[in-house]
Structure 1
Amino acid sequence: MRLIAAIGLVSVTAGLGVIALLDAPHELFALVGAIAAVALAASSFWKISIHAGVTAGSVGALVVVFGAWALLLSPLVALVGWARVVRHHHTITQVIVRAIVGALVAWGAMTVLV
């Protein structure tokens, strides 16, 4: 589990480096940081679905930026969650909880920043 967290941390750091080189808006840094912080904190005591959280968080952020039309992307959250459960990587509860937390964290971060 520690190896997976370390790989995730390296991946997020590399991603932040790339978006810094591309001169991305500061809101994107805050969004990635908030999602990563919650994922790392929660993953230390429960095997939650980071895939579902990031997908739901992305939809939540897009709702703030583009409005309710972005909710049309919500089926993607269900599709990712279904895939994680069918592949036996997570339980339904782990997927649902992380999707809710991911959406709320991203929505909250974007609401404050935008």
Structure 2
Amino acid sequence: MVPLKDSILKFIFCLLLIVVLVDCAPKKTVLNQPAPEVPPKYNKEVVDKFQSGLEMLDAQNYSEALNKFQSILVKNPTSKFEVVVHFNLGAAHEGLGQCELAAKRYQKTARYAVKRFPQVEAL
């Protein structure tokens, strides 16, 4: 019998893979995502880069969005933004037609989500 945690991770991975395969088409649309609530301990630079990255995704400027989100991970690799940043990096790669890189980012999103939010593992 497969442990519940492995089943959940496989389910999340399959779900994300389906999203990538279905959405990695010539159309390049990205949902407008509001910025997550920003705890006071985050500096303004990180918040501004995150907001700017979201704006770049909305404007379909995927290369610039990649730069913004990657710079967040370089300076704050384990911030609370980590899961959302990896997801947004996947969306930017997807927008550029880099489906394999997008899939890898979505996989990281699932792994980090389980680590950061134990409630996911409890499912």
Larger Rg: 2
Higher relative contact order (CA 8 A, sep 6+): 1
Q: Which has the higher helix share?
A: 1
TM-score, normalised via structure 2 length:
0.36
Q: Normalising by the residue count of structure 1, what TM-score does the alignment of the two structures yield?
A: 0.38
